[in-house]
Structure 1
Amino acid sequence: MEQLSTANTHFALDLFRTLNEDNPTGNIFFSPFSISSALAMVFLGTRGNTAVQLSKTFHFDEVKDVHSRFQSLNADINKRGASYILKLANRLYGEKTYHILPEFLASTQKMYGADLASVDFQHAFEEARKEINKWVKSQTEGKIPELLASGVVDNTTKLVLVNAIYFKGDWKEKFMKEATTNAPFRLNKKDTKTVKMMHQKARFPYGYIQELKCRVLELPYQDNELSMIILLPDNIEDDSTGLRKNVCILMKRIINIDRINGMII
């Protein structure tokens, strides 16, 4: 699984760099694994130059048997009995009059657990949009009630590939509710905002990157299978969040730490 993890990490950093350039002072929230696994299904049905471009973008050329590795990882992520809930669900919605190769459908079902739902985009695209949103809402425990806004699909839509990811976990070291207090949170060099700040005293994996003047804290979830990584710069030198400079170098350093080496979900 190491090859797929490395490829996903490279894609995550590439995408983060692009998003950060477009929105250097705002919040950025995305799931690189959700995106790469969804587009891997598209990659499964491509050939020629399209396949080459997708392979390069997602670094699939670095992975042997990429679809088999996604199959194994998806099974591991959706395993029963885990101390956390990490659900990755895929589905295809195809125009009922549009012919899709049976071989492609069989492969997406086998490798990604994605079945095909036939809908009438041609005559009832709004009903199809609502059906898609209803499925996504159910897969994300109501957290994403409307994935597709009105106007996203129309009567020319032939195929919609939907990927939904949902996570819920408990901290290994729980935060006590009564220890939560109001505290200032720095948005940039000039502005702060009062937020609810959780507190606790415990031992956690902690590091410091001297050349970037940044502290790194790992907060593990139960059973130590998953963790949240928090980065805190010593100072904010410009109008950004303080992590804008060399942020991808910083991320690569973190990923190379043995304790944190793994998949970015």
Structure 2
Amino acid sequence: MGEKVLKSVIQQVEERPNENRRSVFNQLWAILAEMREKIDAQFELTKDPCSDEFDDYTKFGDSGTEGSLNAYAGPEIDWFIHSFIGSPESTFTNMHITISPGAQYDVPNFGFALGTLPDLFMYMDYLPRRDYLYDASYADKYYTEVNKEYLELQADERFKPFISHDLYTRIAMTPTAVGYCADVDDAVIEKIRGIAHERLDRWLGWMRDAEKTPLEERAAISKREETIRMTICERDPANALAEKMFGKEPADRMVKTLWGGNRTLPRVGLE
């Protein structure tokens, strides 16, 4: 296992602010495009108009920052975000796919991010919809298989564990979460691509085989999911970078859109 990364995202970007990562961004963004094709092939999705104002971040001034934020929902998916933000010629990029199933399923949420700080950054996790400390069968069902991959990555010295300074961020990560930095290297990028597809394919399989949750449980699942999603988004330490790039008001609207606070499409799976 590589040495731990104890510097925050902001510290890393500020220490090396002018490194060109355009080619790396293109390779990482292509991985998300491949994943998006698989997601679109399995689910019916409708874009929520609340994200329309964020279809092109360059409209928010001359900060040099690029990006887009697209939010979707569908019969099986309560909230799906496909987004990126950054200045690829100036060190920082960050791109996301996050998916919350409808309340009719207790399949974990899919969380995924790649970026450059300027070193490679990767985050992947399955966020639980039940208390797996209390319900060990839920842990066995969804986390036993991925535990082998987690241990293999811990043993790979190319990947340096990223330790978030934010307590809640660490609380929100499961014991099989992928949170690493790594040197820019073609072999590392291919390793990341393989893990990304393996994680997504596993999650898509869970969704195909998922049983419906009882109706009387769905309102609580829906409320829990939205609250956790809101808290994670609003407490993300990297929000300070968005404020610096766009100003506080646009950045606050972006964060609210990320968690669905201004959604116009209805919540999914309650009936």
TM-score tier (shorter):
under 0.3
Query: Larger Rg: 1 or 2?
Result: 1
TM-score (norm 2): 0.24
Structure with the bigger percentage of helix: 2
Tell me which of the two structures has the higher relative contact order, counting C-alpha pairs closer than 8 angstroms and 6 or more residues apart: 2
TM-score (norm 1): 0.25
